[in-house]
Structure 1
Amino acid sequence: MRAYVQQGSQEDFNFLSLDQTAHWFWERGYEVIRFDYPELGAGVLDRGLRQFSEETIVAGGVGTIREALQRAGRPLPENLDLPQCLDNWIGRRFWTSTLDEIRSLVEANAGLLPVHVKPLRHHKKFKGRVIAEFRDLIPTADIDGEMPVLVQEVVRFASEWRASVFRGRIVHVGNYAGDPLLFPDANRMQGALKAFVSPPVACAMDWGVTEAGETLLVEVNDAFALGAYGIRGSIYTAMIEARWRQLMGLADNGVGEWLSM
């Protein structure tokens, strides 16, 4: 099995994560090949993606994986974000809109502000942010106003956690922001997982604990490009592999099934 792992520069925020990923695939006995994003666009990985897909895994950032899927002729997955089936665990209003509509809210100084805004489909366009006044819109100034966005009421979390979900089970929970001693309600997490309709084989459900102690779903992230957040390397790379195969339309090879033994 061959794992193509993106080679980031030291200035990239995910540089160490990519190096760890390469090492963990190597520990599992896979042939590891590092590549730069321009090489992907130049077709360096095309032969593996198209002719040897059963033996090929690609790991990298969100944009990299989406590009690899397109080069392999595969459809792109929908962003998971806030599934409607999990409304009972979200605990705040959320809706879709456009950047122009958000700009109009700011110009009118509407009572809905502040709101959290992130791209609905093209996550690379700008990082999700709280919009309360004009200066908060500056990073989006060169983006088409018709671009769809996901809008949410702002909730202040005292602690935030990532629950890694693999083959229908929570296999790791790691704190990534706030108080590391303020743990989310395990029953809430398990209840949401049971209610999740048609989840991917691997994903992350991010949870926040409010200052009042309520556990709310922050968002759901696809496993094809996740941060590890302390999870064991063997599990993390198995999640990447299983989800990659699912996105490529390949048969489930059972990777990671040992976790349920």
Structure 2
Amino acid sequence: MKAYIQTDKNGEFYNVNAFVAYEGFKNFGFEIEKFTNLDEISNKNPEHIIVGGIGNVRRRLQDLNIIRKNKEIDYPTELKPYLKRNIWSSTINEIFNKKEWNIFIKPQTETKLFAGKVIKSEMDFLGLINEEKETEVWCSELINFKTEWRCFIRYKEILDIRRYKGDWDTKIDVKTVNDAINSFISQPNSYALDFGVDENGEMFLVEVNDGHSLGTYGLSSAHYAKFLSARWSELTQTKDFLNF
């Protein structure tokens, strides 16, 4: 069992996620090998997990001839009742031409193209419009979330719930989270359900995120290693050595 973990040019782990993964996989007995550039890795064994930025993880999957869907999970059809707001598909140019203001947008396919943002005027399109290529985006009605949590799901069970925004004393309804898990028929082996609560105390599903390269958000090193391993083994159709 081996885990390749990304570092910077000085050999330091590229961020806290990499360090936490290192601690987790090391304590589970994995052989650890650092890398700065994927070209350094000649071994093509799909059992060897890659921990790094989302671009490196996806490139490694491509190098292993593993095809994954271009679009993100984001808003699964099965979980539409938990969204509780209108969400639709569009393009940057279409939104600009129609002057659809006061909405939230995020990329559909190129996750790192830009961070999700609120569109309130023409000025918010600076740097987004590409004359040569239509950029597909998800659009959403605005909700003023008071508090947001990331629920880490592994093998259809809650692994942990971490608050990442808002008031510490706001409560999340765990029953709603479990109901969403049970409704998500097509769920992967590890992923995150982000839930938010507005100023009226109503709970909304913010979005769903694939588990192959998510940040720790405070997860323990053991939980983080198990979370990453579950999704990697599913994508590569290999054994999950941490499935316990």
- What TM-score, normalized to structure 2? 0.92
* Residue identity matched to 1:234: A
Answering whether residue 240 of structure 2 is matched by residue 253 of structure 1, we say: yes
Q: Secondary structure at the match of 2:161?
A: strand
Looking at both structures, which has the greater relative contact order when contacts are Cα pairs under 8 Å and sequence separation is at least 6? 2
Contact 1:117 1:129 in 2 (8 A): yes
Q: 1:197 to 1:4 in 2, by over 3 A?
A: same
Q: 1:254 to 1:198 in 2, by over 3 A?
A: farther
* Residue identity matched to 1:26: K
Corresponding residue for 1:93?
Answer: 86
Instruction: Work out the CA distance in 1 between the residues paired with 2:207 and 2:31.
Output: 33
Instruction: Work out the CA distance in 2 between the residues paired with 1:44 and 1:9.
Output: 13
Answering whether residue 116 of structure 2 is matched by residue 128 of structure 1, we say: yes
Instruction: Work out the CA distance in 2 between the residues paired with 1:214 and 1:141.
Output: 35
Per-residue CA shift, 1:115-172, capped at 9, x if unaligned? 1111101111111111111121113144755121111111110000011100110111
**Match 2:62 to one of 70, 76, 84:** 70
Instruction: Work out the CA distance in 2 between the residues paired with 1:168 and 1:121.
Output: 25
Mapping of 1:223-234 within 5 angstroms?
A: 223-234=211-222
Instruction: Work out the CA distance in 2 between the residues paired with 1:144 and 1:183.
Output: 46
Q: Secondary structure at the match of 1:53?
A: coil
Per residue, is there more helix in 1 or in 2?
1
Corresponding residue for 1:59?
Answer: 51
Give the ranges of 4+ consecutive aligned residues of structure 1 lying more than 6 Å apart after TM superposition.
Answer: none
Instruction: Work out the CA distance in 2 between the residues paired with 1:205 and 1:115.
Output: 21
* Residue identity matched to 1:97: S
Corresponding residue for 2:207?
Answer: 219
Q: Secondary structure at the match of 2:40?
A: coil
* Residue identity matched to 2:224: Y
Answering whether residue 183 of structure 2 is matched by residue 187 of structure 1, we say: no
Q: 1:67 to 1:186 in 2, by over 3 A?
A: same
Instruction: Work out the CA distance in 2 between the residues paired with 1:9 and 1:203.
Output: 30
Q: Secondary structure at the match of 1:140?
A: coil
Instruction: Work out the CA distance in 1 between the residues paired with 2:82 and 2:9.
Output: 38
Q: Secondary structure at the match of 1:23?
A: helix
Mapping of 1:18-29 within 5 angstroms?
A: 18-29=18-29
- What TM-score, normalized to structure 1? 0.86
Answering whether residue 156 of structure 2 is matched by residue 164 of structure 1, we say: no
* Residue identity matched to 2:160: H
Per-residue CA shift, 1:202-240, capped at 9, x if unaligned? 111010011110111011111101111122211111110
